[in-house]
């Protein structure tokens, strides 16, 4: 599954070097961080609404949009999906309370 994330991360990184009118992602990068963050907020809201409505197909669709735009943010910040996956791996097996307590130190 992470192969898809790796391939998408590669494409997103390439889009950073392209002209704004060449792709949707290139245009987001050209508009800057605020535009990327706005899209994440919009997609998060749409995901919440789909969940509230109980529409499983719409949840999947909106979650894909949300993850996509979060990956755009990662690339914009010079990060890779593996950075997030490594953090999730680090947390695996810890209780949420224990993990939160470790962050506060």
Report pLDDT digits (tens) over 28-71. 999 999 999 999 999 999 999 999 999 999 999 999 999 999 99
8-state DSSP, 88 = H
d(CA 75, CA 81): 9
Question: Which 8-state DSSP code applies to residue 21?
Answer: G
What pLDDT digit, counting tens, does each position of 75-94 carry? 999 999 999 999 999 988 88
What's the pTM? 0.88
């Amino acid at each position: 599954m992470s192969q898809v994330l790796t391939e998408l991360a590669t494409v997103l990184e390439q889009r950073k070097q392209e002209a704004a009118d060449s792709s949707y992602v290139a245009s987001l990068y050209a508009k800057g961080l605020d535009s990327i963050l706005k899209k994440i907020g919009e997609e998060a809201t749409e995901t919440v609404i789909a969940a509230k409505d109980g529409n499983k197909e719409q949840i999947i669709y909106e979650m894909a949009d949300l993850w996509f735009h979060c990956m755009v943010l990662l690339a914009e910040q010079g990060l890779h999906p593996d950075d997030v996956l490594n953090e999730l791996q680090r947390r695996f097996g810890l209780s949420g309370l224990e993990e939160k307590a470790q962050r506060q130190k």
